[in-house]
Structures are given as structure tokens and as C-alpha cells.
Amino acid sequence: MVSPLCNKDLESEVHLFLHCSYAEIFWNYILPHSIGCGPPLDINILLPTILTTVKQIEDAFKEFTTREDIAIVMISQYVANMIRFLVDSYNKPIPAILEIPSKDHPYDPAHDSILSRVKNLFSTESVASGRR
């Protein structure tokens, strides 16, 4: 079977982890950058750690929501709560904001501002059309 990523070589563990052109991008660019080595990249990911400041999260959120090459911003609800004022004030359709649960913090629909807006939109439409 041909590799589903590059459609060039036969799929195998060795190919997928070492020789595939997509694996090469990961090993040569993304991995070194994510551990603080390598040249700076124009990446679209922030993996907060205990050392990440709220200001860094705010700056990443602002950058990701203004870039034209990003359609969805996925943010754990735990991290979104740290910058809730920014998430709540964001009102553009693209990129869409998707709050997701994290391993250590379950999702709480009551804290999801986008879900709250959708609920309000549907309840406003129901009232306007006379449906309940």
C-alpha cells in the first residue's frame, strides 16, 4: 500500500517515521523548534507549559485570530479561561474558536462563550418566530 501522506513510497513504519517527506518536515523543523532549538518558524501552534505566561497566551490568541491561513483556533477550555476576556470579545466567524477539554480539566458548556452565543441565537430566533 502506498503511503497516505506522500503517495510516493510503500507504507511502512520505517517510511512513515524516517523517510516520508512529511516526517522529514516534523523531524527537521517542527520538533527542534518545539524544544527550543532550530530556526524560528511561522507556526500555528502554542503548547502552553507551566512556564508559559498569560501574556504569551494572549499574544498567540491575537496572532492566530488575525492570520489569514488559520480557519479554526482550537483552545483547551482551561487555557481559554485564562484569557476569557479575549475569547468572549472575539466576534469574527473565521477563524472559528473551538474550546476543547483537556486531559486534566473536563469541558464545561457553561464556560464556552461561543456555545452561549449559539444558544442565545437559537432562543432569540425561536421567540421571534413564535416557536418554543
State pLDDT tens for residues 28-63.
666 665 565 555 556 788 888 889 999 999 999 999
pLDDT at residue 80, as a whole number? 94
Query: Please, which pLDDT band fits residue 13 given cuts at 50, 70 and 90?
Result: confident
Could you give all domains of the chain from N- to C-terminal order, each with its CATH number? 1-42 (no CATH), 44-129 (3.40.50.10580)
Q: Percent helix, strand and coil across the chain, each rounded to 5?
A: 50, 10, 40
Q: What is the mean pLDDT of residues 74-79?
A: 92
- C-alpha Rg value of the chain to the nearest Å: 20
Is residue 114 classed exposed, middle or buried when 0-12, 13-18 and 19+ CB atoms within 10 A define those classes? middle
pLDDT at residue 87, as a whole number? 93
State pLDDT tens for residues 77-115.
999 999 999 999 998 989 999 988 888 888 888 888 778
Measured in whole angstroms, the distance separating CA 80 from the mean position of its chain's CA atoms is 11
* Residues 61 and 99: beta-carbon distance below 8 Å: no
Alpha carbon distance 86, 79 (integer Å): 11
